[in-house]
Amino acid sequence: MTEAVHELDVRRMLCPMPVIKTQNKVRTLATGDCLRVVCTDPGALSDIPAWCRINGHQVLETGEAGNEVFVVLRVGEDNGALF
């Protein structure tokens, strides 16, 4: 089975919205899927990885490109889905 790669655009959103939107998106994904979150809030570089550590997701990459930052994560076993 091949993992899916998804992208979430949370540009122009400030804390805590990038983390909340990331959490909501992860709930719709399968274990092993990857999510690339693109932000303009530099705080997301620490906030999203911290959320991942707490919730069992793996951060694959973080970085900056111009005025944007990004976090790439792999969804862990418990994606927080309500079903």
Give residue 6's pLDDT: 98
15 is catalytic: yes
Query: pLDDT tens-digit profile of 26-83?
Result: 999 999 999 999 999 999 999 999 999 999 999 999 999 999 999 999 999 977 765 5
The pLDDT of residue 61 is 97
From 15, 34, 39, 52, active-site residue: 15
C-alpha 37/C-alpha 16 separation (Å) is: 14
Domains present along the chain, CATH in parentheses: 5-74 (3.30.110.40)
pTM of the model: 0.91
Coil/strand/helix, residue 49: helix
DSSP 16-40: THHHHHHHHHHTTSPTT-EEEEEES
The token pair at 20 is: 């909340």
